[in-house]
Amino acid sequence: MAEMATPKPEVFTRKASGLVRVMSPYSAFVYNILTMGLIFPWTYLWAPGSLPGGQLVWGIILAMVIEIPIAFVYVWLSTALPRSGGDYVFQSRVFGGGVAFTVVMSGFVIWILQWVALSGWLVSYLGFAPLFLGLGATMHVASLSTLGLWFTSATGIIVVSILNALIALILLTSGFKNYVRFQHVIFWGTLLCFATVFVVLFATPASEFVARLNAFSVASGGVANFYQTAMDAVTKAGINVHPPFSLLATLLVAPIAWTSLQWATYSAEQNGEIKDARSFRSQTFIMVGSLIATGLLLALLALGIQKVAGSEFLYVAGAGYWSGISAANINGFNLWPPILAVALTASPIVVLIIGLGYLLNGFQIVCNCYIGMTRVLVAMSLDRLLPDWFSKVNEKYHTPVNAHLGYFLASIPVIVGYSLVTQPFTWVSLTLGVTFGCGYVFIITCLAGALLPYRAKEVYEASPGAKYTVSGIVGVLFTLLGAASFIALTWVLSPQAFASSVVLDWLVRLASIVAVIVFLYPMRKHLLEWLNGKPMPWLSALGMLGGGLGMAMVVAFLLSPALGVLGNWNFADFPKNLLAQIIAIAIIVISAVWYIAAKARQKSKGINVEYAFKEIPPE
Amino acid sequence: MPLFGKKDRKKATRLYFATDLHGSERTYRKFINAGKFYDVDILVMGGDITGKLLIPIIKEKNDHYRATLQGRVEEITTQKELEDLIARLGTLGFYHKVMDEAEFQALSADENAVNELFHEVSRQRLSSWVDLAEERLAGTGKKCYVTGGNDDAPEVLTAIKREGTHSFFACEGEVVQVDDDHTMISVGFSTPTPWKTPREITDEKLGEMIEEMVAKVPNLSHTIFNFHDPPVDSSLDTCPMLDWDKDPPEPIIQGGQTVMYGAGSKSVRNAIEKYKPMLGLHGHIHESQSVAKIGRTTCVNPGSEYGEGILRGCLVTFVDGQVEGYQMTSG
């Protein structure tokens, strides 16, 4: 069946009421960019600190390329099921309620509490602190610098974080319109901040970098010859600031950059409100467009930092963060990109713009957490898997006040733990666990996409994407590439993670192969057909590729110590040194147990919760 | 009654409610099968059962066909492709008619003829739906009650008012005995909308219509209000405020954001607050799936996603004038 563009639709319509979608594709595009966090800093210090020899720019580009097939799967799924709820809806359609609830509750609802805490940290540490520190330095007012440092203290961060979450709670429950109004301020403030950081990094001559950094250090109460002092301390600690290129390290930069870029598809949670949500062009612009725009800008930012500061300084700054070398920090302050930009300018206005930009984008994160997760909580409550209390909508404000309140209360212990828990592991180091948690949500959705044409045939065939197929041979190659990436990275990283146990090492390696076989075995009939040249749905081909590449990223968090605490498999003094892994597994187990318990409880009242997801046969 | 032991408990009645199917063939077939699938006693379909779009499948000189679907022109070259297209149109809730170019051009120039064609295909589909329900529910003891909504033209709704049926019943304007203890009254009209649909009346008039129905009910605590229009400001009626002067109506943007409001009926809310029925079944606002308690009354709007072939609905269990439980479904 061929198709062509038409100048005038040849359809007859009649006046009828119905659903009105309010969010324009452009707004959804902006929403995704804000969610990805244009000005988030992880990659720039974490990667040089933990992955010597890794190429920052190429790692970011790689993360963007890996995310492209995943984003396309979401485009297909969104046009097939343009409903709010995103991942929960997609997964429940294909894998059923048990999988969807367990995955989304654990990977999103619980893990994202950490991001509520992180948002407060961003607002305090990267918003208020550099703002006052910079103003103190540029205006030579010591009390402002002192205040700036308070925002880096545990007390400062906890107070700011709780207030940050509380303000978001009040703003969002007072009516969504108030938030949307403020979102414009956030967007333009963030863009202005990012542009300013860009201009400062690219316009500052590299020859002046050392002098300006030293001057900032003095003005902030640090040492006079900061650059050389930091360089000496890092070198003395045995850190090579000129490491040779490492392919593995470059590959592992990608999962860190994925922390931002994996959110390119977050607008899927609000598909029911997006105009033209069934349109391929719109969804591609919203998801793939925002991904490429953000990926390129993040890579440019890395380029800008390298240009002005030099690669060796990135290793110095990274050591201050990752190895905790205090001499590589200014007054105890890690040298994140906004701090560098503030340090390089002598203008209080520039400091103000950058500080406010980070404040706004930090606040946007907590709002995103609430908006996304309260929708999920309401949906789960309506499915009778959470108490009715969560789905009560305030009649005056039309918002799920209880769900917001519940999420706020749940976030408080996480906020406190984020700043105070340092033993037996630092709670902060669980931050990339969110990328792991949310990562497996995205990947399971991706795999759901691969299976949608077979598990929810009617839904798929009624979708505009059903007509797009690819040669079965190409599709199988995509499948093999995805599977090979996952298995290969597991085989490379497993010996590092389980150096003390050959048995565990081989068990994990073999488990990766078994996992691929278990997933593909039900598709064996189709695989043979595709090998014989039968066309494969593009959605399945991209789902297999994106799912495999994404699984490689997720497994990297589990097996690479360089990507945070989940990759440190130290069995000594059990369970003390494996608490992070136990927490990660416990979150999944608790979610699964909750589902089973809720299902049993509802069954005793004559309610079968599976009915919420099961498709009724039309014939 | 035994002296010791449990009191004999009445069997609860299970009801399945879906609404706003807008002509979707696949969704309707699921709705009828929901009776067996969910093991319910009663099926209730709220209003807005007729479709909104009619797709002309235009036969071309080379025996191929063309049709515009979701903004794209599709060129159909084989019989199989034609059958697939018609099936997809049914899923989406669209009507179709195969015609030649001359017929299409003539229709395009005649609004009245298009309206008549809409009525004709709508009646045909509704009539086939009655047949399907009678066939599939025969001998099961399950009853299917259907009402119109504001979108359904009166001349189309005649197709569901059929005498001598055993399972399918048009229930609007009737007091229906849904089981031994409970009744249901149905009103499909709505307050005015910016689309100026066929069955809109003022809120006051709607209130009068409800009062007329209520007067016929013997025991209001054991009754179901099956009113298409949801109660105002109940969370079952939240939707964007629209500019009525634009065609099609557009959301009103203030301060860079869409204004949301409760578009339901004051009269419906007043009636629920005043008469305290057991259950309120509502629709009309597709995007506002919700459950709300207004006093003792459980009010539900399961929302609608007929365009995706998804049947949204709500299972309700009740006994002795009390709702024991409810569950939203997405089938």
Tokens of A108: 């999103």
Greatest mean pLDDT range, A377-381, B65-69, B181-185:
B181-185
Q: Please answer whether residues B303 and B311 qualify as being in contact, where contact means their C-beta atoms are separated by less than 8 angstroms.
A: no
How far is the CA of B140 from the CAs of A616, B36, B144, B314, B319, in angstroms? Answer: 18, 9, 11, 21, 21
Asked whether residue B69 is domain-assigned, the answer is no
Asked whether residue A288 is domain-assigned, the answer is no
Tokens of B78: 């084989």
How far is the CA of A63 from the CAs of A87, A303, A446, B309, in angstroms? Answer: 21, 16, 16, 36
Residue % of chain B over a pLDDT of 90? 52
Q: How many helices (H) and strands (E) does chain B have?
A: 7, 22
Look at residue B49 and tell me whether its pLDDT is greater than 60: yes
A272 inside 8 A of chain B by CB: yes
Mean pLDDT for all residues in chain A: 87
B86 inside 8 A of chain A by CB: no
In this prediction, residues A73-88 reach a mean pLDDT of 86
Provide ipTM, 2 decimals.
Answer: 0.78
Look at residue A18 and tell me whether its pLDDT is greater than 70: no
Look at residue B257 and tell me whether its pLDDT is greater than 90: no
Cα–Cα distance measured from residue B201 to residue B281, given in angstroms and rounded to the nearest whole number: 19
Residue A25 pLDDT class (50, 70, 90 cuts): confident
Q: Please answer whether residues A206 and A310 qualify as being in contact, where contact means their C-beta atoms are separated by less than 8 angstroms.
A: yes
Number of domains making up chain B: 1
How far is the CA of A479 from the CAs of A248, A447, A533, B59, in angstroms? Answer: 22, 11, 15, 41
Cα–Cα distance measured from residue A155 to residue A265, given in angstroms and rounded to the nearest whole number: 35
Query: Which residues make Cβ contacts (< 8 Å) with residue A490, sequence separation at least 6?
Result: A508, A509, A511, A512, A552, A555, A559
Q: Of A419, A336, A326, give the one whose Cα is nearest residue A130.
A: A336
pLDDT in tens, B12-44: 899 999 999 988 888 899 999 999 999 999 999
B124 inside 8 A of chain A by CB: no
Indicate the pTM of the whole model.
0.79
A161 inside 8 A of chain B by CB: no
- What is the H or E stretch that residue A248 is in? helix A247-261
Q: What is the CATH number of the domain that holds B18?
A: 3.60.21.10
- Phi/psi for A540 (5° steps) reads -65, -45
Asked whether residue B6 is domain-assigned, the answer is no
DSSP per-residue letters across B24-89? -HHHHHHHHHHHHHTT-SEEEE-S--S-SEEEEEEEPTTS-EEEEETTEEEEE-SHHHHHHHHHHH
Look at residue A283 and tell me whether its pLDDT is greater than 90: yes
Taking CA atoms, what residue in B is nearest to A84?
Answer: B287
pLDDT in tens, A95-126: 888 999 999 999 999 999 998 998 999 899 88
Q: Are B37 and A617 an interchain contact pair (Cβ–Cβ within 8 Å)?
A: yes
Taking CA atoms, what residue in B is nearest to A463?
Answer: B308
In this prediction, residues B170-184 reach a mean pLDDT of 94
Residue B1 pLDDT class (50, 70, 90 cuts): very low
Look at residue A564 and tell me whether its pLDDT is greater than 80: no
Look at residue A22 and tell me whether its pLDDT is greater than 70: no
Selecting from A13, A22, A612 the residue whose C-beta is nearest the C-beta of B240 gives A22
Q: Of A377, A385, A447, A375, give the one whose Cα is nearest residue A94.
A: A447
Q: How far is CA A25 from the centre of its chain?
A: 21
pLDDT of residue A365: 87
pLDDT of residue A2: 45
Query: Closest Cα of chain A to B52: distance in Å?
Result: 6
Cα–Cα distance measured from residue B57 to residue A531, given in angstroms and rounded to the nearest whole number: 36
Residue A6 pLDDT class (50, 70, 90 cuts): very low
Q: Of B114, B118, B120, B195, give the one whose Cα is nearest residue B151.
A: B195
Query: Which residues make Cβ contacts (< 8 Å) with residue A215, sequence separation at least 6?
Result: none
Query: Which residues make Cβ contacts (< 8 Å) with residue B144, sequence separation at least 6?
Result: B32, B35, B42, B43, B44, B45, B133, B137, B167, B168, B169
Cα–Cα distance measured from residue B36 to residue B331, given in angstroms and rounded to the nearest whole number: 13
Contact residues, A window 171-190, toward B, CB-based 8 Å cutoff: 175-177, 180-181, 183-184
Query: Closest Cα of chain A to B1: distance in Å?
Result: 24
* Residue A564 Rama label (left phi>0; alpha psi -120 to 50; beta): left
Tokens of B2: 């035994």
Report which of residues A25 and A65 the model is more confident about: A65
Contact residues, B window 239-268, toward A, CB-based 8 Å cutoff: 239-240, 242, 249, 251, 254-262
Query: Closest Cα of chain A to B175: distance in Å?
Result: 27
A7 inside 8 A of chain B by CB: no
User: Which residue is listed with tokens 């578009």?
Assistant: B263
Q: Are B52 and A459 an interchain contact pair (Cβ–Cβ within 8 Å)?
A: no
Contact residues, B window 12-71, toward A, CB-based 8 Å cutoff: 12, 14, 20, 22, 26, 29-30, 33-34, 37-38, 48, 52-56, 58, 66-68, 70-71
In this prediction, residues B245-256 reach a mean pLDDT of 72
Cα–Cα distance measured from residue B188 to residue A290, given in angstroms and rounded to the nearest whole number: 44
Count residue pairs from A and B with Cβ separation < 8 A.
Answer: 205
- What is the H or E stretch that residue A402 is in? helix A401-420
Chain A partners within 8 Å of B260 (Cβ)? 22, 175-177, 398
Domain that residue A525 falls in: 462-610
Q: Are B254 and A175 an interchain contact pair (Cβ–Cβ within 8 Å)?
A: no
Selecting from B14, B197, B308 the residue whose C-beta is nearest the C-beta of A459 gives B308
Asked whether residue B61 is domain-assigned, the answer is no
Q: Are A12 and B309 an interchain contact pair (Cβ–Cβ within 8 Å)?
A: no
Look at residue A135 and tell me whether its pLDDT is greater than 90: no
Look at residue A432 and tell me whether its pLDDT is greater than 80: no
pLDDT in tens, A456-512: 887 788 788 888 999 999 999 999 999 999 999 999 999 989 988 899 999 999 999
Among A206-220, A588-602, B133-147, B238-252, the least confident range: B238-252
Tokens of A484: 């090979």
pLDDT of residue B308: 67
Cα–Cα distance measured from residue A491 to residue A560, given in angstroms and rounded to the nearest whole number: 12
pLDDT in tens, A314-330: 999 999 888 889 899 88
pLDDT of residue A397: 74
Query: Closest Cα of chain A to B203: distance in Å?
Result: 17
A393 inside 8 A of chain B by CB: yes
Q: Are B260 and A177 an interchain contact pair (Cβ–Cβ within 8 Å)?
A: yes
Query: Closest Cα of chain A to B2: distance in Å?
Result: 24
Query: Closest Cα of chain A to B18: distance in Å?
Result: 13
Chain A partners within 8 Å of B287 (Cβ)? 19-20, 272-273
pLDDT in tens, B73-129: 888 888 888 888 888 787 777 888 899 988 988 988 888 888 888 899 999 999 999
In this prediction, residues A177-181 reach a mean pLDDT of 70
Asked whether residue B98 is domain-assigned, the answer is no
C-beta atoms surrounding B162 within 10 Å? 15
Taking CA atoms, what residue in A is nearest to B115?
Answer: A14
Chain B partners within 8 Å of A607 (Cβ)? 315, 317, 325, 327
Tokens of A104: 């989304």
- Phi/psi for B48 (5° steps) reads 65, 70
Cα–Cα distance measured from residue B283 to residue A293, given in angstroms and rounded to the nearest whole number: 41
Asked whether residue A246 is domain-assigned, the answer is no
In this prediction, residues A261-273 reach a mean pLDDT of 85
Q: Are A17 and B240 an interchain contact pair (Cβ–Cβ within 8 Å)?
A: no
C-beta atoms surrounding A154 within 10 Å? 12
Cα–Cα distance measured from residue A156 to residue A447, given in angstroms and rounded to the nearest whole number: 42
Number of domains making up chain A: 1
Asked whether residue B115 is domain-assigned, the answer is no
In this prediction, residues A377-384 reach a mean pLDDT of 84
Residue B256 pLDDT class (50, 70, 90 cuts): low
Look at residue B228 and tell me whether its pLDDT is greater than 90: yes
Asked whether residue A586 is domain-assigned, the answer is yes
Selecting from B52, B317, B328 the residue whose C-beta is nearest the C-beta of A14 gives B52
A4 inside 8 A of chain B by CB: yes
Asked whether residue B113 is domain-assigned, the answer is no
Q: Of B73, B4, B3, B18, give the one whose Cα is nearest residue B329.
A: B18
Taking CA atoms, what residue in B is nearest to A179?
Answer: B257
pLDDT of residue B8: 62
A613 inside 8 A of chain B by CB: yes
Domain that residue B153 falls in: 13-51+125-330
Q: Are A14 and B118 an interchain contact pair (Cβ–Cβ within 8 Å)?
A: yes
Q: How many helices (H) and strands (E) does chain A have?
A: 26, 4
Query: To probe the interface with A, which of B82, B120, B297, B329 has the most A CB atoms within 10 Å?
Result: B329
How far is the CA of A254 from the CAs of A68, A73, A541, A549, A556, in angstroms? Answer: 13, 20, 22, 11, 10
DSSP B233: T
Look at residue B5 and tell me whether its pLDDT is greater than 60: no
Look at residue A20 and tell me whether its pLDDT is greater than 70: no
Asked whether residue A281 is domain-assigned, the answer is no
pLDDT of residue A5: 42
DSSP A333: B
Asked whether residue B196 is domain-assigned, the answer is yes
Chain A partners within 8 Å of B91 (Cβ)? 458, 462
Half-sphere exposure of B3 (CA within 13 A, CB side): 0
Among A22-36, A533-547, A574-588, B156-170, the least confident range: A22-36
Residue A16 pLDDT class (50, 70, 90 cuts): low
Q: Of A616, A526, A568, A283, give the one whose Cα is nearest residue A429.
A: A568
Chain A partners within 8 Å of B150 (Cβ)? 17
Burial class of A1 by CB neighbour count within 10 A (0 to 12, 13 to 18, 19+): middle
pLDDT of residue A8: 58
A601 inside 8 A of chain B by CB: no
Residue % of chain A over a pLDDT of 90? 47
Cα–Cα distance measured from residue A44 to residue A59, given in angstroms and rounded to the nearest whole number: 11
Q: Are B74 and A3 an interchain contact pair (Cβ–Cβ within 8 Å)?
A: yes
Residue A1 pLDDT class (50, 70, 90 cuts): very low
Cα–Cα distance measured from residue A429 to residue A562, given in angstroms and rounded to the nearest whole number: 11
In this prediction, residues A288-315 reach a mean pLDDT of 92
Asked whether residue B187 is domain-assigned, the answer is yes
The residues pairing with A111 across neighbouring beta strands, listed in sequence order, are none
B79 inside 8 A of chain A by CB: no
In this prediction, residues B157-181 reach a mean pLDDT of 93
Alpha-helical segments (H) within A204-236: 209-219, 226-236
A191 inside 8 A of chain B by CB: no
